[in-house]
Chain A
Amino acid sequence: GENVEQHPSTLSVQEGDSAVIKCTYSDSASNYFPWYKQELGKRPQLIIDIRSNVGEKKDQRIAVTLNKTAKHFSLHITETQPEDSAVYFCAAVALSGGYNKLIFGAGTRLAVHP
Chain B
Amino acid sequence: SAVISQKPSRDICQRGTSLTIQCQVDSQVTMMFWYRQQPGQSLTLIATANQGSEATYESGFVIDKFPISRPNLTFSTLTVSNMSPEDSSIYLCSVEGDRGSGNTIYFGEGSWLTVV
State which size class the interface on B falls in: 20 to 34
Q: Which residues of A are found within 8 Å of B105, using beta-carbon distances?
A: 34, 46, 93, 100, 102
Partner-binding segment picked from B12-20, B60-68, B80-88, B107-115: B107-115
Nearest CB in chain A: distance from B50 CB, A: 8
Nearest CB in chain A: distance from B30 CB, A: 8
Tell me the chain B residues, 64-102 only, with Cβ under 8 Å from chain A: 90, 92, 94, 96, 102
Q: Mark B18-59, 1 if CB is under 8 A from A, else 0.
A: 000000000000110100000001111100101000001000
Whether the pair B92, A107 counts as a contact (CB closer than 8 A) is no
Q: Which residues of A are found within 8 Å of B109, using beta-carbon distances?
A: 43
Q: Which residues of A are found within 8 Å of B110, using beta-carbon distances?
A: 42-43
Q: Which residues of B are found within 8 Å of A113, using beta-carbon distances?
A: none
Q: Looking across the interface, which residue of chain B has its beta carbon closest to that of A95?
A: B103
Q: Which residues of A are found within 8 Å of B108, using beta-carbon distances?
A: 43
